[in-house]
């Protein structure tokens, strides 16, 4: 019975996606308006967020939030301190808690968000001032071969920008803002001649994936009141656009490689982060992504396991921003896929590369998008 139901779901989702590609590509991509709708309120399409967050989804979310909170280290971090991904995973875990409405020092998990903010803030005074990653990962010779530190820096800068102005005391808030200013200065100084970013500061060439992590962080920092030169954003936009291929997807490097799901989803979020919500690049990119609607039969080549959480994180953000039919098709499909994964792993989400906290954080950010609580994504 389960198999038949899953087959039916795949057929239904595939048909809906095909209809969307054929007849709904005229959906508007206007700039999101300010103001959160909040849980259970109607969005601009008249859709209740409670329609998306059914009882099973909410129960899975509560289990995930509790799991994250119980797995925080004494210093506020998550996962192995020696990992180059530790700061990034900590930032994502805290963002997942914030997506449930918990702010530093406020809410059921406010203490965990606060401790995470203090941990990430402390990373700004390392070997490279403003580089938000563990001191161990900044060792000489390691940056050029390890992607985790620059990804961590992007996610951590995004997190600090989101909590900036929310800290319980003025002293704590000043510390966060000071760390954020250092982080943004580091990001800008790390941009290379191609207009993007790579594993290490000012590398000779960029890649679209690391570039998007920095672009989203810069947008959040700008929203928090920091000044970001237009030329920095424009250069990042030009790099991302140069990676788009004739099929609408995006390559990893400018001028070479093939399109793929995860990097294409990220590229759209990078453009959205720059305030580009419509145009040929957006329409073609969204059409390309619709080939990968969750629930359709896809191979490991289509979505490699190591790119699953990263790809669906950005895809959900892209569809949330695109709104309308894109979101109404995408979210129920990814919600049901994530619930299926949770059932098959004892109520958790797992990842063999970065661990259960990382996978759970990514799943929770996706599932809680209808709450509309994260400032960077509020409509």
Q: Where are the domains of the chain?
A: 2-25+53-377
How much is the pLDDT for 136?
81
The pLDDT assigned to 378 comes to 79
What are the CA-CA distances from residue 158 to residues 11, 97, 297 (Å)?
37, 14, 33
Number of H helices, E strands in the chain: 14, 0
Q: How far is CA 200 from CA 170, 176, 192, 283, 287, in A?
A: 34, 24, 10, 32, 33
For residue 22, the model assigns a pLDDT of 47
* Closest by Cα among 202, 201, 182 to 130: 182
The whole-number pLDDT of residue 304 equals: 95
For residue 202, the model assigns a pLDDT of 84
Give the tens place of pLDDT for each residue, 291-314. Answer: 999 999 998 889 999 999 999 999
Q: Which CATH number fits domain 2-25+53-377: 1.10.20.10, 3.40.50.10860, 1.50.10.20, 1.10.3720.10?
A: 1.50.10.20
Residues of the chain with pLDDT under 70: 1-50, 80-84, 139-146, 379
- For residues 135 and 125, give the distance between their C-alpha atoms in angstroms, rounded to a whole number: 9
pLDDT digits (tens, 9 = 90+) for 169-228: 999 999 999 999 999 999 999 999 999 999 888 889 999 999 999 999 999 999 999 999
């Amino acid at each position: 019975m389960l198999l038949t139901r899953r087959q039916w779901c795949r057929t239904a989702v595939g048909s809906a996606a095909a209809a969307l590609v054929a007849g709904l590509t005229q959906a508007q991509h206007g700039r999101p308006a300010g103001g959160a709708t909040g849980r259970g309120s109607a969005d601009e399409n008249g859709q209740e967020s409670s329609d998306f967050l059914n009882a099973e989804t909410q129960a899975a979310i509560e289990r995930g939030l509790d799991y994250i909170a119980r797995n925080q280290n004494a210093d506020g971090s998550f996962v192995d301190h020696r990992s180059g991904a530790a700061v990034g995973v900590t930032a994502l875990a805290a963002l997942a808690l914030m997506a449930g409405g918990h702010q530093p020092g406020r809410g059921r998990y406010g203490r965990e968000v606060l401790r995470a903010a203090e941990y990430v803030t402390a990373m700004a005074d390392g070997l490279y001032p403003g580089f938000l990653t563990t001191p161990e990962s900044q060792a000489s010779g390691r940056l050029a071969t390890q992607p985790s530190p620059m990804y961590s820096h992007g996610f951590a800068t995004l997190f600090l920008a989101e909590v900036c102005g929310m800290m319980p005391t003025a002293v704590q808030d000043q510390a966060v803002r000071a760390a954020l200013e250092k982080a943004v200065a580091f990001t800008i100084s790390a941009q290379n001649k191609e207009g993007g970013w790579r594993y290490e500061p000012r590398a000779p060439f960029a890649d679209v994936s690391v570039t998007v992590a920095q672009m989203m962080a810069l947008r959040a920092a700008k929203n928090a009141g920091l000044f970001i030169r237009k030329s920095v954003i424009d250069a990042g936009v030009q790099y991302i656009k140069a990676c788009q291929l004739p099929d609408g997807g995006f390559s990893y490097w400018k001028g070479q490689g093939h399109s793929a799901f995860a990097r294409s989803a990220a590229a759209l979020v990078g453009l959205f982060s720059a305030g580009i919500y419509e145009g040929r690049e957006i329409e073609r990119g969204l059409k390309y992504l619709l080939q990968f609607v969750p629930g359709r039969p896809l191979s490991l080549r289509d979505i490699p396991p190591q790119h699953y959480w990263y790809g669906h994180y950005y895809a959900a953000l892209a569809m949330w921003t695109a709104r309308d039919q894109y979101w109404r098709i995408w979210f129920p499909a990814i919600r049901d896929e994530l619930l299926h994964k949770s059932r098959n792993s004892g109520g958790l989400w797992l990842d063999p590369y970065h661990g259960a906290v990382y996978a759970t954080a990514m799943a929770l950010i996706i599932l809680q998008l209808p709450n509309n609580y994260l400032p960077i994504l509020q409509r």
